Amino acid sequence: MLGGLIISVLGFGLLCLKDWGFEWMGTWWLWVLVLIPIPLWALIGRRHGISAGADWFAMKKGYVDTYELTEVKVEGASGGLAWTLELADKKGTEMSVDAADAQANSKLWDLVYNGILHSVQQGSAKTNPKALDKLRLR
């Protein structure tokens, strides 16, 4: 949403500079061009619907308790960058997410990774070799 607001402000400024004033404001369709980035950016930002807290990781489908994981798997191309993170917790909730989507926000990923690391090293979360390698859980 902030990105859309910034684009709208820049558009407003450019139109004011183009006309050397505020004459453009009387044309309704120019307002549409200036304001459309705000809701558009908000919709794009909610596409993945990923969030995290101190001990949970959520998507639109539900959430898992990252400090009580029972299974952590990585699936995908062995040498490639595209891989999927699969998580399951003690409640039986399972979640699958593209790793790139989870890692796009470094603060969110830090919360999720700390929970995964705790569950694997202190808990009894089962992993596969790819998870140990890609997530550096050893």
pLDDT > 90? residue 13: no
* Nearest C-alpha neighbor of 56 from the set 133, 116, 1, 128: 116
Q: Give the C-alpha separation, 56 to 45, whole Å.
A: 20
- Predicted confidence at residue 88, as pLDDT, reads 92
Ordered DSSP codes for 68-110: GEEEEEEEE-SSSS-EEEEEEETT--EEEEEHHHHHTSHHHHH
Q: Give the C-alpha separation, 1 to 42, whole Å.
A: 5
- Interhelix angle 37-45/2-19, rounded to 10 degrees, is 160
Residue 1 in tokens: 């949403």
Q: 128-138 pLDDT, tens per residue? A: 988 888 888 87
Domain boundaries, the chain: 2-45, 51-134
Q: 66-113 pLDDT, tens per residue? A: 999 999 999 876 556 678 899 999 999 999 988 888 888 889 999 999
Residue 82 in tokens: 């595209």
pTM: 0.65
Report, at the CATH architecture level, how domain 51-134 is classified. Answer: Beta Barrel (2.40)
